[in-house]
Amino acid sequence: VVGRPDPSVPPSGVSCSGCGAELQCRDDTAPGFVPSEKYRSMSEGPSGAAGLRATVCQRCWLLSHHGRALRLELPPEQHRLVVSAALRRPPRHGRGPLLLYVLDVLELPDPVLPQLPALLSPDVPAGGVLVVGNKVDLLPADSPRHLKRLRERTGFGLEGLVSRLQRSWRCAGDVYLLGATNSGKSTLFNTLLRSDYCKSRAPDVVDRATVSSWPGTTLNLLKFPIINPTCDRIFRRQERLKEEALKTEDQLSSEERKYLNHLKKQGYLVGRVGRTFQRPRPSAVVDFDPDELSYSMDEDPKHNPGKPEQREEFTDNEVKDARWCFDTPGIIKENCV
């Protein structure tokens, strides 16, 4: 652990954008720890604790940038409590939650799926259950260089999943990604965040979840707002999918063709995820001070630091009636290698 804790500073009330733990600098052995030096530099500005938004805890930083995992473990029952409390909330929009269960096809029969009914409340009926088989490209594991395949992601079948989720809009409320640890929930969450399932402005506001090979990376709920699949949006999405389906390999870039040929040789199921609805990017505007362009021969030009980048936030109107897609902590698998 780098940096010092400061027990005198209260918790922030702001969640880590990578794992969902509450950011704090009081205890370097607890979830959400940020070194006190960085914590104060981020939270003592005019925004207060809100300046910590988009900050990741030290654990997520080490996982993402150095492949190191701190010895931070939560009791298995703690993960179940977080998931169960979320699923037992009163239904929003008059509809129960849609459960998107991510199943690792390398571990069948699944050790967690039979436990799903115990996490639900009889007073909150589910709006449906979708089971997604993940890691199909890792079967079988007897092909050449199969260990390298563990590091590849192809996105096969995900556009079909997005279409299926959009058809569930009328019969379900919020969506929860459920499953055992290391089943691929956070990877799927990040992919859906940059697909037609998510509001077009959300990728500029919501940060990607931390993904690692260590079990139990996600410690609390992460979320993004779901776009309303109106008839116009569905039509435009179908037109984009038709155009992409008619593309030939000659129309791909050299990098895309190279990657596609690599996947074919390794026997992958190939797929990609695109976006139909994207925000127009503002044109770059050069901001300069005319007085900086003229100075005498015995003066040195002074550096004029730019304005700090303003982080985008959702407006009240954007989220007051929104439906959300939640990433949840993985349920610890027992009696598994």
Of the residues 28, 45, 70, the one at which a domain ends: 70
Q: Is the peptide bond before 111 cis (omega within 30 degrees of 0)?
A: no
Q: Is the residue at 152 inside a domain?
A: yes
Q: Is the residue at 123 inside a domain?
A: yes
When pLDDT is averaged across residues 190-212 and rounded to a whole number, the result is 87
Q: Is the residue at 172 inside a domain?
A: yes
CA angle (204, 176, 31) in 5-degree steps: 70
Q: Is the residue at 272 inside a domain?
A: no
Of the residues 55, 70, 85, the one at which a domain ends: 70
Q: Is the residue at 260 inside a domain?
A: no
Return the minimum-mean-pLDDT range out of 16-25, 106-115, 134-143, 318-327. Answer: 134-143
Q: Given this model, what pLDDT does residue 306 score?
A: 47
105 and 199 belong to one structural domain = yes
Is the pLDDT assigned to residue 151 strictly greater than 70?
Answer: no
Summary mean pLDDT of the chain: 79
118 and 196 belong to one structural domain = yes
The tally of domains found in the chain comes to 2
Q: Is the residue at 153 inside a domain?
A: yes
Q: Which of 153, 147, 148 is nearest to 135 (CA)?
A: 153
pLDDT in tens, 232-243: 999 999 998 888
Confidence of residue 100 (pLDDT cuts 50, 70, 90): very high
Of the residues 20, 40, 70, the one at which a domain ends: 70
- Give whole-number Cα distances, 330 to 5, 63, 182, 222, in Å: 28, 17, 7, 12
Q: Is the residue at 166 inside a domain?
A: yes
229 and 190 belong to one structural domain = yes
Please give the distance of CA 129 from its chain centroid, rounded to a whole number: 21
Return the minimum-mean-pLDDT range out of 84-93, 119-128, 306-315. Answer: 306-315
Q: Given this model, what pLDDT does residue 235 score?
A: 93
3 and 31 belong to one structural domain = yes
Q: Given this model, what pLDDT does residue 42 score?
A: 83
**Between residues 2 and 150, the one the model is more confident about:** 2
80 and 161 belong to one structural domain = yes
Return the minimum-mean-pLDDT range out of 28-37, 235-244, 258-267, 326-335. Answer: 258-267
**Between residues 237 and 137, the one the model is more confident about:** 237
CA angle (113, 176, 18) in 5-degree steps: 110
Q: What's the domain range around 206?
A: 76-237+319-327
127 and 220 belong to one structural domain = yes
Is the pLDDT assigned to residue 327 strictly greater than 90?
Answer: yes
pLDDT in tens, 156-167: 788 899 999 999
Q: Is the residue at 46 inside a domain?
A: yes
Q: Given this model, what pLDDT does residue 164 score?
A: 93
Mark out the alpha helices in 120-182 (DSSP H runs).
158-167
54 and 171 belong to one structural domain = no
**Between residues 10 and 283, the one the model is more confident about:** 10
Neighbours of 296 (CB within 10 A): 5
Confidence of residue 88 (pLDDT cuts 50, 70, 90): confident
Cα–Cα distance, 7 to 9 (Å, whole number): 6
120 and 89 belong to one structural domain = yes
Return the minimum-mean-pLDDT range out of 73-77, 79-83, 331-335. Answer: 73-77
109 and 233 belong to one structural domain = yes
66 and 85 belong to one structural domain = no
Return the minimum-mean-pLDDT range out of 6-15, 82-91, 294-303. Answer: 294-303
Percent of the chain predicted with pLDDT > 70: 79
93 and 168 belong to one structural domain = yes
**What φ, ψ does residue 85 adopt, rounded to 5°?**
-65, -35
Is the pLDDT assigned to residue 150 strictly greater than 80?
Answer: no
Cα–Cα distance, 252 to 247 (Å, whole number): 8
Is the pLDDT assigned to residue 61 strictly greater than 60?
Answer: yes
**Between residues 85 and 69, the one the model is more confident about:** 85
51 and 110 belong to one structural domain = no
pLDDT in tens, 260-319: 777 666 555 566 777 887 766 655 555 555 554 444 444 444 444 444 456 677 777 777
Is the pLDDT assigned to residue 244 strictly greater than 70?
Answer: yes
